[in-house]
Structure 1
Amino acid sequence: MKRLIAISLFFTTLSITGCTSSPTLQQDVHQTEYQTYVKTGEGVPMTQFTDTQGNQINLNQSQNVKLLVLFATWCPDSQRAIKALIGSEFNLDPNIDIIAIGREENKQTLDKFAAEYEINFPLVTDTDRSIYAKFANAGIPRLILLDKDNRIVKTIIAEGENPLAEVQW
């Protein structure tokens, strides 16, 4: 019974505070202040990635607008955002490149997640948060909208019931 109560409290805390840290980290989520390190109009801090399939992604080789999704497979808000994205017009738009970056995720967890959610866009591992740390300190999912020149158009913390509501270039 104690275990059930502890698990229930954990998930209640996540749903109230958002997905600030992985369940393996020992930090007080109530004291985490969301900070975004990139600003509108700036160039994106990274333009090259390798997806879980070994494909090289170079943002400079595409003239499309881009949507970077910083997420975690264990986070309910991230799960909701990915589901919304898969079912959205953004996912089918040939003029939008979507790249999802799994914070503290490895290839195995992302491959499993991709199969379960039927994801058709590239997934990138960020096992040590080195990619995420270039964008923010806490809070997922984060949506980073880039223009065709890889300048930041908008950053969004996509928690809540309508995670794509603010996505507009």
Structure 2
Amino acid sequence: MATTTATIFIGKTHPYHSGIIPTHLIQLTENDRPALILQDLKAIDNKIVIIPTVENMVDDIFLMIAVYVYNLITPPKKLDNPSRDSLYELLTDQERIIIYKNVKRALQGTNIKVVFNILEYSHLINQIEDIKKYSVNYEVTTPFIKNEFNVWQNKTIYKEF
């Protein structure tokens, strides 16, 4: 069973109180194979799933936003496909480099906000610097305190980061 290791809200910054007025949510699920699951918060039954690269997950998240939330670019191949081919299989390294550059250009000057809520052990925890490469409004939350039952140790573990 896949585990959600990050949630990403997409929307607009409130003009007076910061925060976010969300329109969409992306869940990053991980275990055997990572997946990005996009939901429109007004049509939650309609989900779009792409299988991201591991080393460029942040770029893949912004690619998903540019393609499926704002229709700013059209990828050379359908990213959300029934066979769940990964971006490694769908696009060559060179195609991904080009499309990531196009996404960065397309998002410049937009007034979107992206909020990353990254949990412990998420692949995104080591890719926070990559978020800074995008000229959008963003916030990043990471673990501060954790209190969780550990099945392997048969006890509750408290941790401050």
> TM > 0.5 between the two?
no
Into which bin does the TM-score normalised by the smaller protein fall? Answer: under 0.3
Structure (1/2) with the larger helix percentage: 1
TM-score when normalising by structure 1: 0.24
TM-score when normalising by structure 2: 0.24
Q: Per chain length, whose mean CA-contact separation is higher, i.e. which structure has more relative contact order (CA < 8 Å, sep 6+)?
A: 1
